[in-house]
Amino acid sequence: MLKIYDGGLNVATILKEWYEEEATSNYGAFIPFIGTIRDEDGIEGLSFDIYEPILEKWFKEWQEKAKAKNAIIKMAHSRGDVLLHQSSYIAAVFSPKRRVALEFIDEFVENFKASAPIWKYDLKNGKRIYALDRSTAIKGSGLLAKEYS
């Protein structure tokens, strides 16, 4: 399950929903990761662009990986502006045993950071500034640059 929301995420509502959806699915472990916007470098918040067609394909691949481990994965992410102390990202793994879920959430969140087609901007002095220095080039980037031709 992948859901995109406009603005900050309602953490309590989303976690409650996910918990209730799987309450009787016989998973022994439910491990959520909740990302929130920290007050740092004078930002007023963060803002996000998302390219959904590729995000959905990427997520589907991870759903298959989870399935192979008898686990499931759920994810929610914000689009647009998210203010300080609000959440922009929640991911969770449900699995029969805790070890699988603990390892899977780590692998999933790291890969998400490096591959998911989402772009982050700092909101500063009313401006939206692309966070290039905190961003990662997707694997295989540079195909159209001169050194490849």
Partner 1 sequence: MVRVEFLGPIQKDALELEITNLSELATILQETPEMAEWLSNSAVAVNDTLVSSLNYPLKDGDKVSMLPPVCGG
- Contact residues toward partner 1 (CB under 8 A) are 35, 48-49, 51, 53-54, 57, 77, 88-89, 109, 112-121, 130-132, 134-149
Residue closer to partner 1 by CB (options 10, 111) is 111
Identify the CA nearest to 8 among candidates 59, 58, 80, 65.
80
Q: Minimum distance from CB of 100 to partner 1 (Å)?
A: 22
Burial-class residue 88 by CB neighbours within 10 Å (0-12, 13-18, 19+).
buried
How far is 108 from 73, CA to CA, in rounded Å? 9
Amino acid, res. 12? A
Minimum CB distance to partner 1, residue 91 (Å): 9
* Complex with partner 1: residue 99 or 134, whichever CB lies closer: 134
